[in-house]
A and B are shown apart, each in its own frame.
Chain A
């Protein structure tokens, strides 16, 4: 159990367009979902934490208007990168947890390339 999926796994888009990434917990209810960004050969950087039905909490330095997070249900959270630019190219990973401070179950990640 405890499987988390992400879609798409890879996306290439033009500069200025918006991209939506979905994160789903397939076999459990995730009260909390997390979005991370990972640069090449670096660790995961937490971008935001979202609880179902409430606004996401963004980490310092993360633009909330650029990275829109919606956690509409206990099994789905979405990250929308608005007006994407080449510097937004990265590997985005989501994780889900049954409660705020428990084990996180990670998705496979989404590779975003902005041309």
Chain B
């Protein structure tokens, strides 16, 4: 069975701080990896995805993620967060979602 874990339940940062959200999965088959974001009061939307090729993928709004196959990880990063990045972030492997990480960015 597939499972997805996210390291942090709630992350609090100040503006301009760097961000890294951890995501690990357990599954031996082919994986398609996603990060979704849900801003307050809005739908889930895709941040970035990885299917194959370059393991460093760039998404919208300055986010990027790196797939490390040997570590079964797909961590999300952003060099400098903004207040508008406050949201819930979900890592997904195929159709299985992680528990989510709430990011609060303080102005």
Contact = CB atoms under 8 A, between A and B. Distances in A.
Interface of A: 4, 34, 36, 42-46, 49, 93, 95, 101, 103-109
24 contacts: A36-B97, A43-B99, A43-B100, A44-B44, A44-B97, A45-B97, A46-B95, A46-B96, A49-B95, A93-B44, A95-B44, A101-B32, A101-B51, A101-B94, A103-B34, A103-B46, A103-B49, A104-B34, A104-B46, A105-B46, A106-B36, A106-B45, A107-B43, A109-B43
B67 interface: no
Contacts, number: 35
B90 interface: yes
Contacts of B94: 101
B43 A44 contact: no
A3 B34 CA distance: 19
Contacts of B95: 34, 46, 49
Given A101-B32, A103-B34, A43 B45 contact: no
B98 A43 contact: yes
Interface string B86-107: 0000100011111110000000
* 6 A-B pairs with the lowest CB-CB distances in the bound complex, closest first: A106-B44, A43-B99, A44-B97, A43-B97, A106-B43, A46-B95
Interface of B: 32, 34, 36, 43-46, 49, 51, 90, 94-100
User: Counting chain A CB atoms within 10 Å of each CB, which of B34, B44, B46, B51 scores highest?
Assistant: B44
A45 B1 CA distance: 14
Contacts of B99: 42-43
A103 to B, nearest CB: 5
A4 B45 CA distance: 11
Contacts of B96: 46
Contacts of A43: 90, 97-100
User: Counting chain B CB atoms within 10 Å of each CB, which of A4, A43, A105 scores highest?
Assistant: A43
Given A42-B99, A45-B97, 14 more contacts: A36-B97, A43-B90, A43-B100, A44-B97, A46-B95, A49-B95, A93-B44, A103-B34, A104-B46, A105-B46, A106-B43, A106-B44, A107-B43, A109-B43
